[in-house]
Each structure stands twice: as C-alpha cells, then as structure tokens.
Structure 1
Amino acid sequence: MAEAPPTPTVLLPEAEVARIVADLATRIAPVIDDETVAAVLLTGGLWFAADLTRALSRTGRHVRFDALWLASYGDEQSSRGRIDVHAPFQRSLEGRKVLILDDVFDTGLSLAEAVRHAKEAGAAEVVTCVFARKPWPKPRAPEPDFVGWEAPNRFLVGYGLDHAGALRGLPDICALD
C-alpha cells in the first residue's frame, strides 16, 4: 500500500495571503499604467495573478492580461535546471510595459526566461513581481522588483503551488515536508 502524503502545515493563512496581495497592488499601481500587460507565468502563478489583477483594479489600475507557460519542475520537488516553453505570449508586447507575475522565486530561472521572452517580444520595460521569494545559496538574476513574502526554505503547496499537480487549490500557503 502507498505511503500517505505528509499533512500540509499552514505557514501563511488565507487572510494573510489576501493582505499581502493588497499591499503589493498598492506598491505596484504607481509604477504601471492601464496599457501595462500583466503576464502570469503558468500554471502556478495563476491564483496570484487573478488576485493581484483584481486588487490592482480596486486601486483604479486596469491592466491588460496575458500568460506565458513555462515549466522547470515537472512533477518533481526541485527544478530540473532547464525551462520548457509550453505556450508563448498571445498579446503583442511591442512598446508596452510588461508586469511579469509568478508565484514563487527560487532558482530565478523561470523569471529570467520570462524577462528574456518579453524583451524579445518588444516590451519597452519589464517589471517583475513574485508572491514569495525563497532563500537561495547562489546569486540570482534578475531579482524580482516586487516581493510579497519572504518564504522559508521549505517545500510549499497551496495558493497555486503544487506537489505533482496536487494541492494547488489550498487557500493557505503550506509546507509539505
């Protein structure tokens, strides 16, 4: 019989997640405009991007929306060290400011790849925002422009973060270790 998966330990409750997202929207709104394309990195960043774009709307900032589907983990708990592009941007980025949104920043590979793709697509400026930044032993480039939460070095699930595709829908951010 298969061993039961570990029980998730809540690190950041849903109400605190919402507070962090609202704070990020307040900090980001002054540096973007309504022509900005908010581009989420799929699939994990979808929960955060949906909440953040609604929070930006509450500040009076109504961004355009797009997605870039990158994958570096597959179903593993650590990055494979390479990025696969499953779907490129759909909207023209030519001459626009782009706000790249992702759930968690650890190796920096996905964010760097997304910035590269946006610049190659003609973005005038690229601003980056991640919900969580995990500690990392090596320098990472580029560091995100906006970070919501300094996360511990644990395996995170919930709020879009997953374990082999599972547990993304948890409203809290939890550790699974």
Structure 2
Amino acid sequence: MAYPKPYLEFLMYFHGNRDYFECHEVLEEYWKEVDPKNRSSHWVGLIQIAVGFYHYRRGNLSGAARTFKKAIQNIEMNQEQLTQLGIHAAELQNMLVDISHELSINQPYKSINIPVMEASLIKQVQSLCEENGYSWCSPSDLTNNELIHRHSLRDRTEVILERQNALKRKKRG
C-alpha cells in the first residue's frame, strides 16, 4: 500500500529520534491539507498521541493525561482508518490506557512503539530512519534538551508575524 509521505515521516520521527514535536508538525500540516474541518479525524488522534508524549516527557503530566484521554477516544472512533494505515488500533488504545494509568501514579516517561502490523510499512519507515541517521525504535534521549523542550526553543518569528497580520486583516474586515 502507498502511504502518505507525512504519515511515514510521522512514524520515522516517533520511532527514530522520538521528536514528538516534529511528529505533530508534519502530520498537522497534512491533516490541514486533506481534512481540516474534521477534528475527530484519525490524523488528529495520531497528532494527539505525539503531543501527549511530548508533554509526558517534559513532565507536564496533567497536559499529557488530558491529551491521551482525547487520543484514546479518537482511536475508539477510528479503529478502521488506523487499521488501514497498518496500525493495530486496539493494541495502541490499550497501550495508551496503560500509560494513562502510569501517569495517574506519577510514573516517569518511557518511550513506546506504535504497534505497526504491516511489514512493508515497517520497512519503509526503517529505511527513512536509516536515511536520516536515526535508529529504529531506540528509546528517547532524555539528555537532549533541544529535543525535549523544542517548542520553547524554536524561532517563532514567522508565527508571530502571521498572527499580527491576521489581527490587522480582522480589524479592517
């Protein structure tokens, strides 16, 4: 099966260098192209998983718990779409339920692997990992502050400028 490139990249970042922020970025951009009004899309559920792990790894347990709760609900609604993407949806849902329990008793973050069932998908993503210098399914580097605190360290000039322009357009309209 031919999978969308952003989905392959999402899996590469999730399992390769554990860059959950980049997982969110590539898949959100794709979701906004293909189905932006559908907030219950399976793409949104995958984004929520990445955001949940981003929060969890940073120690924002309440943010992670809220986000995982939404992701679990999304997976429940989108089992078929996730299965078509080569993911064992029920297993993923169970993993997130277990992680939510671990959060509730203040257990520390640990990396997980999304249960991918499709061998050809795994090979494609492993190849992408190799091309980008990542090790497939290695644990998160908890000493890499740039990775862990990515959202607060990135250049937001473009985002701020776009918001200012949107406000100006709104005032004129």
Q: Which structure would you say has the larger Rg?
A: 2
Q: Which has the higher strand share?
A: 1
Output the TM-score relative to the length of structure 1: 0.31
TM-score w.r.t. length of structure 2: 0.31
Give the number of the structure whose residues are more often helix, by fraction: 2
